[in-house]
Amino acid sequence: MTVTRFAPSPTGYLHVGNLRTALFNFMIARKNGGQFILRIDDTDPERSKEEYVDAIKEDLEWLGLTWDRLERQSSRLDRYAAAADRLRELGRFYECFETPTELDLKRKKQLNMGKPPVYDRSALRLSDAEKAALRAERAPHWRFKLDHERIEWKDGILGDVSIDAASVSDPVLIRGDGQVLYTLASVVDDTEMGVTHVVRGSDHVTNTATQIQIMQALGATPPEFAHHSLLTGPKGEALSKRLGTLALRDLRDAGIEPMALLSHMARLGSSDPIELRASVDELVEGFDLSHFGAAPTKFDVEDLKPLTARYVSSLSFDEMKDALAEAGVPDDIAPEFWEAVHENVETRKDVARWWALCRDGATPLIDEADREFVKTALAMLPEGPLDRDSWGKWTKAVKEATGRKGKGLFMPLRKALTGMERGPDMSRLLPLLQKLPKDV
Ligand code: GLU
């Protein structure tokens, strides 16, 4: 069975970059009738926060990305300890005593000499007596000893990848304070949870190389890996610093619709066109990982707006009922109101803007050259309740009285009644306007 996982660390809110990873894994599981695991990577007690765990769940639920199984790394520490013991037994785990400052100094020296900043394995050359002396001073951290050979895999997006293990530092898997690091925890989880496919950002390619060796050392078969490109801003600029402003909850607050966001993110960076889909199932149907490219993917938050507007416009009255009530639209005219404005709203909440116009009227927008014409026209507005035919009848009469036609007839009237040059069909809107200008 296909098993995938989305493994966020609860150290902040999910953003569009995380969503891309979540979606890929979600869709692979759904497309293959498999299982999608939400794994909370919370081995870092200082940076992990419960409020972010809740927020991650809430954001995924908002999008309809439901998980079949929830796992938390903080409840599996004994499993990681067992794996660490096994690596020790296998002679693939070694104690190191360098302080962060010492390591930093080593890296700088190597860089100055034009060498790659790869850990020099000096801890492997310590004698037992030296180790005992160092242990008395400070707690060791533990590194996995890579086999210096090429690590190769067929990547679901990048194709054939080959990394020389000698160009990579032996990864630290347990810190001096005993904290298990993500690389080991992830290997143990992916193996023990039967994960078959891992899709994550291309910033994890080196991790993947080391994780493949750790898995092999532990006697496990590595899953299929795929690394998606990272998002950039619309001009190709790095997005990493701005991701904080692209939190899913901020997009939600701005009125972006889940289906608009999902439709966009599920195809962005692929050779498939971005089309608004009505359901997650439809998106899953057309999803194909092999259609995604390795090049950085441009993301522009502005692109979510037209998709959102199209989605909201397509909603039925029943689907909009609550939003209309919330905006204060009276029940008896709500269906006609929605019919009048549905093509002109940008978000659900945007109905409030049109309702304010209907309820309060607008400040007329009048060009001096049109003032007399508008005066004449307003004086001709029929008395009493207006209906769908009122606009047609009224403008016909005004046309006959003034000789104006086409844009010269309709535009000044629209601007006088709505204060805007564009908006809903006037024959639908006019009967809903509760306050009409009497004179100008
Ligand atoms: N917690 C890791 C991260 O958020 C997970 C990476 C992975 O998918 O393995 O980067």
CATH number of the structural domain spanning residue 24 = 3.40.50.620
Domain boundary among 314, 338, 371: 314
| Chosen domain end from 257, 288, 314 | 314
Per-residue pLDDT at 180: 96
Q: Is residue 200 part of a domain?
A: no
* pLDDT tens-digit readout, 210-225: 999 999 999 999 999 9
Instruction: Please tell me the predicted confidence (pLDDT) of residue 413.
Output: 97
∠ CA 176-211-55 to the nearest 5 degrees?
A: 75
Contact 195, 223 (CB under 8 A): yes
Shared domain check, 364 and 300: no
Same domain, 423 and 349: yes
Q: In the chain, helix, strand, coil percent, each to 5?
A: 50, 15, 35
Domain count, the chain: 2
Of 266, 292, 314, the residue at which a domain comes to its end is 314
Atom of ligand 1 nearest to the CA of 199: 8
Q: Are strands 141-144 and 93-96 parallel, antiparallel or unpaired?
A: antiparallel
Q: Are 262 and 66 in contact (CB under 8 A)?
A: no
Ligand 1 neighbour 182 (Cβ under 6 A) = yes
Q: Which atom of ligand 1 lies nearest, measured to the CA of 21?
A: 8
Q: Which two tokens stand for residue 406?
A: 């086409």
Give pLDDT, residue 440.
79
| Residue 225 to residue 234: CA distance in whole angstroms | 28
* Ligand 1 and 188: CB distance under 6 A: no
**C-alpha to C-alpha distance for 190 and 182, rounded to whole angstroms:** 12
Dihedral of the alpha carbons of 160, 196, 262, 8, in degrees to the nearest 10? -100
Residue 410 is assigned to a structural domain of this protein? yes
* Residues 302, 320: Cα–Cα separation, whole Å: 24
* pTM for the predicted model, two decimal places: 0.92
Residues of the chain with pLDDT under 70: 244
Looking at the structure, do residues 328 and 405 belong to the same domain, yes or no? Answer: yes
Give the structural domain span for 284.
1-69+229-314
State the pLDDT at residue 383: 85
The confidence score (pLDDT) of residue 243 equals 72
Residue 349 is assigned to a structural domain of this protein: yes
Tell me if 34 is assigned to some domain: yes
Decide if 157 is inside a domain.
Answer: no
Q: Is residue 47 part of a domain?
A: yes
Same domain, 239 and 287: yes
Question: Is 94's C-beta closer than 6 angstroms to any atom of ligand 1?
Answer: no
> Same structural domain for residues 244 and 339?
no
Q: Are the CB atoms for 80 and 44 separated by under 8 Å?
A: no
Residues 307 and 267 in one domain: yes
- Flag whether 86 is in a domain: no
Same domain, yes or no: 304 and 321? no
- In order, the DSSP letters of 156-196 are TTTEEEEEEGGGSPPPEEE-TTSPBPHHHHHHHHHHHTT--
Q: How many CA atoms lie within 13 A of 216 on its CB side?
A: 12
Q: Among 13, 186, 187, 211, say which to mutate for ligand 1: greatest number of ligand atoms within 8 Å of CB.
A: 186
Assigned domain for 180 exists: no
What is the Å distance from ligand 1's center to 42 Cα? 11
Are residue 362 and residue 397 in the same domain, yes or no? yes
Assess whether the C-beta atom of 8 lies below 6 angstroms from ligand 1: yes
Q: H or E stretch including 394?
A: helix 390-402
